[in-house]
A and B are shown apart, each in its own frame.
Chain A
Amino acid sequence: EVQLVQSGTEVKKPGESLNISCKASGYSFTDNYWLMWVRQMPGKGLEWMGIIYPDDSDTRYNPSFQGQVTMSADKSINTAYLHWSSLQASDTAVYFCARRRSGWYPSFDFWGQGTLVYVSS
């Protein structure tokens, strides 16, 4: 069974750094699958942040998020990460990871449960 299990809720202060994770199981992490990160601010819609290919860590960012976050992956433990070096209150949101299905057609068939990040002084 394919699963994406994300790390738990984070409560942080502005200026702090943070990594959240997305651990994949039930499929070959490096076998032609990309992983996308999506932001959902409170009461708002879905925004794609970027996508990473875990096999070689090729990463493509949405221009709106370029330089704001860093995506990485550790294929030895089937885990992708989203990193902030200096959080802001506006980073408060739920973050989802999602698997891009293999093959020619790009759709996202499995999603993590979401990680709530709360940033407040």
Chain B
Amino acid sequence: DIQMTQSPSSLSASIGDRVTITCRASQTIRDYLNWYQQQPGKAPKLLISAASTLESGVPSRFSGSGYGTDFTLSINNLQPADFAVYYCQHSDSTHNYNFGQGTKLEIK
């Protein structure tokens, strides 16, 4: 079973900052990696699929990169709406869909 580990678990930043969240897979997953944003009391929202493909309607200040075991989600020019919890998810054709434990992005 492939495990996903995010770091950090929490992060404080200011409006306008750039932040990076890391997700590491326990074995290679090529680019089978999604990123989601979850606001308090809301359902998760898909931000990025296939490690780096930005979903329609997601601001371009979000970007994803990585391949194999190491992945990053970067957010430029943080806006108030960006303070949320972020999850990576491995998903593949053999029906494995494990999430990372989440990274809480808080306003400083």
Contact = CB atoms under 8 A, between A and B. Distances in A.
Given A107-B91, A108-B34, A45 B99 contact: yes
B92 A106 contact: yes
Contacts of A51: 95, 97
Contacts of B95: 51, 60
Interface residues of B, number: 24
Nearest to A6: B43
Nearest to B31: A105
Of residues A104, A106, A112, A114, which shows the largest number of chain B Cβ atoms within 10 Å of its Cβ?
Answer: A106
B87 interface: yes
A118 interface: no
Nearest to A112: B43
Given A48-B97, A51-B95, A108 B46 contact: yes
Interface of B: 1, 32, 34, 36, 38, 43-46, 49-50, 55, 87, 89, 91-93, 95, 97-102
Contacts of A112: 43
Interface string A30-44: 000000101000000
B1 to A, nearest CB: 8
Given A45-B87, A46-B87, A109 B43 contact: no
